[in-house]
Amino acid sequence: METPHCPRRKNFQERRRKVAWCSGIVHSFLEKPPNLQGDFSGCILLCRISAKYERISSMHNVRFKAFLIAGLLSVAALAADKDSKDSRPARGSVELGKGPGAQTSGSKVDELNNLFGKVVEAVTPSVVTITTEKKWAPQQQQFNNPLFEFFGMPQPEAPEDRSPKRNIPLGGGSGFVVAKEGYIFTNAHVVDGADIVKVGLNNKTYTAKVVGVDKKVDVAVVRIDAPAGELKPVDFGDSRKLQIGEWVLAIGNPFALQNTVTTGIVSAKGRREQMGGGDSYQDFIQTDAAVNPGNSGGPLVNLRGEVVGINSSIYTRTGGYMGVSFAIPINMAAKVAEDLIYEGKVTRGYLGIGIDNVDENLAGALGLPGTQGCLVREVMPNGPAFKSGLKNGDIVLTVEGTQVLDAPHLRNLVADLKPGSKCSFEVLRDGKKMSLEIKIGAKPDENGAQDEEMSSDYDGEDGSGGFSSSKLGLRFGSLDADARTRYEIPKDVAGVVILEVTDGSSAAETGLLEGMVVTEYKRKGDSGFQPVKQPKQLLDAVKSLNSGENIAFKVYYKGKTDLRALRAGG
């Protein structure tokens, strides 16, 4: 009996055939995965799959098509992964980092590395950390009630300040031990303004005493009381022998990171007026060794392990390191430090002259081969140079045989000379070279009574066309045609013109200014005001004054006449 036609049974059988067909394809892939990157048999198999797929493409079962495509992609991925694993090399068969390199001798490289290591090992134990503090000062509350004051009653006492009493941290830097007695070098700006200075060494902290500070060179000496075994002094080199391009190391504590070492080369020498000039003495070593906040006061070391400088400052536009660092030459620092240790102050040589650089125009006019040397533009009255015959307009060429490079260089050279010694100077005057022997004076102390620009005991002609009076603190000269033109003084005004006023003097306190004309004067005992006709006349009047006596001037300035009274100094 013929089985009646059943559509559901027919569809079920058709699905079984499709599943069997797909299983065959998958089985073929798993038995022999095709190499999709060049296996020819794999390509044939894919063609078979494609042909069979074309045969069923007319089927309307979309879900079956999607199932078939997903299955084929999964099998292909498995095959590709299996193939990639089979193609990986055996471990150790690939040599990594075996290029030709720089073809340098390994022994020389090791020798250089060991050299740097030995330098660090030798110097680091001498490097210290310095921190500074300001003593805490309580703010006293004031009760200034006007009622208490009106009735003559005492003001009530302010309540006791019970806030925590902590010292105020100021900052810090680095330093290095220079003597077994506990002396340490650092920068003046590291300890400036500090009430308490603490030194960290070998995981111990010591309270240091400030022996002396010289802001003009930025050098300070502090001292700690530590056992001799804890102190390892550094060895000084000769900073004059440093060569541009020579390797150097900067050791310190930047950002409180102790014993940080950076390397670089000497980029330049003799950098002067890099940090604002002024009254400081500068002869910096420039290096590209990284120096950052906290490095100040640390040593700059050569490859012999010798300290050749004190790291002091950087050039920056951002506040951080930019590749330009400056160090104070150890020769300069050591001389200053010795004065601070033995005398408590720095003694410098002094000539008593005003100086300037030689520019190209002046060099050309004088027939000089270059701009080296220093122009003497002013000679202070009764100073060492004045007494030895140095004159305005002289060009100083050498000092004790050392060629003068520029004005700051001459200033440094003279400062290093011992006061009282006689030194040779070669100068150019009126186109001719000549030698002068000058007895070096002592640079007036910053806080001393003697003014740096004018001798304290001189009233007379200053050798440069003017007359000086240290009693009043002014310099004056003839009212000639040049002075009238320069200061715009009418022809009908007679007297002497003020050329310079010393800061802090009686003349300055009275308000006298350069360009004013002293027309008359009067002393105690004079019958009246005396007209001034010549500078010598006014000078004689001033010289007659005793310390504390007064003199009155009538002065002309910018169309007006005024009266000023001055008191003579000692």
Looking at the fold, whether 217 and 338 belong to one and the same domain comes out as: yes
CATH code, domain carrying 252: 2.40.10.120
pLDDT score for 255 = 81
Select, from the ranges 38-47, 286-295, 400-409, 545-554, the one with the highest average predicted confidence (pLDDT): 400-409
How far is it, in rounded angstroms, from Cα 548 to Cα 566?
A: 9
Question: Is residue 110 in a domain?
Answer: no
269 and 325 fall within a common domain: yes
Tokens 């060099």 belong to: 363
- Claim to verify: residue 425 and residue 338 sit in the same structural domain: no
| Contact criterion met (CB below 8 Å) for 301 and 307 | yes
Report the largest interatomic distance among the alpha carbons of the chain, rounded to a whole angstrom. 169
For residue range 98-111, what is the model confidence (pLDDT) as tens digits? 777 666 666 788 88
- Give pLDDT, residue 450: 33
- Rounded Cα distance between 91 and 69, Å, is 37
Q: pLDDT, tens digit, for every residue of 494-524?
A: 999 998 888 778 888 888 998 999 999 998 8
Each as own residue / partner, the long-range contacts of residues 535-538 (CB below 8 Å, 24 or more positions apart, any chain) are 535/466, 535/467, 535/476, 535/477, 535/478, 535/496, 536/467, 538/467, 538/476, 538/496
**Average model confidence (pLDDT) for the chain?**
80
CATH code: domain of residue 515: 2.30.42.60
Q: What is the pLDDT of residue 483?
A: 85
Q: For residue 449, is it within any domain?
A: no
Provide Rg for the chain, Cα atoms. 44
Range of the domain at 189: 124-138+166-342
Residue whose pair of structure tokens reads 């003495």 in the numeric block: 281
Question: Which pLDDT does position 286 carry in this prediction?
Answer: 93
Flag the least confident range among 141-150, 207-216, 399-408, 521-530.
141-150
Q: Residues 372, 363: contact at Cβ < 8 Å?
A: no
CATH code for the domain of 359: 2.30.42.10
Model pLDDT, residue 192: 87
Cβ atoms 406, 383 nearer than 8 A: no
pLDDT band at 160 (very low <50, low <70, confident <90, very high): low
Burial of 152 (0-12, 13-18, 19+ CB in 10 A): exposed
Q: What DSSP string describes 487-506?
A: HT--TT--SEEEEEE-TTSH
Q: Annotated catalytic sites, by residue?
A: 189, 218, 296
The domain total for the chain is 4
Determine the Cα–Cα distance for residues 548 and 517; give it in Å rounded to an integer: 24
Closest CA to 354 of 376, 383, 382, 387: 376
DSSP annotation of 293: T
Centroid of chain to Cα 79: 67
With 90 as the cut, is the pLDDT of residue 471 above it?
no
| Residue owning tokens 């100073």 | 383
pLDDT tens, 472-495? 888 898 888 888 888 889 999 999
Is residue 188 in some structural domain?
A: yes
pLDDT score of 61: 56
User: Which among 300, 325, 342 is the end of a domain?
Assistant: 342
Residues 242 and 373 in one domain: no
Domain contains 354: yes
* pLDDT > 50? residue 277: no
Q: What is the pTM of this model?
A: 0.59
Identify whether residues 365 and 505 lie together within a single domain. Answer: no
Q: How do residues 287-338 score in pLDDT, each as one tens digit?
A: 999 888 888 999 999 999 999 999 988 776 666 677 788 999 999 999 999 9
Q: How confident is the model at residue 351 (pLDDT cuts 50, 70, 90)?
A: very high
**pLDDT grade, residue 449 (50/70/90)?**
very low
Label residues 284-319 b or e (16+ Cβ within 10 Å = b). bbbbbbbbbbbbbbbbbbbeebbbbbbbbbbeeeee
Does residue 465 share a domain with residue 543? yes
- Whether 333 and 367 map to the same domain: the answer is no
State the pLDDT at residue 327. 93
Tell me, yes or no, whether 448 lies in a domain.
no
Q: Are residues 315 and 353 in the same domain?
A: no
Check whether residue 233 and residue 275 sit in a common domain.
yes
414 and 482 together in one domain: no
Question: d(Cα 251, Cα 309) in Å, to the nearest integer?
Answer: 11
Q: Tokens representing 244?
A: 């541009």
Question: Is the same domain home to 365 and 503?
Answer: no
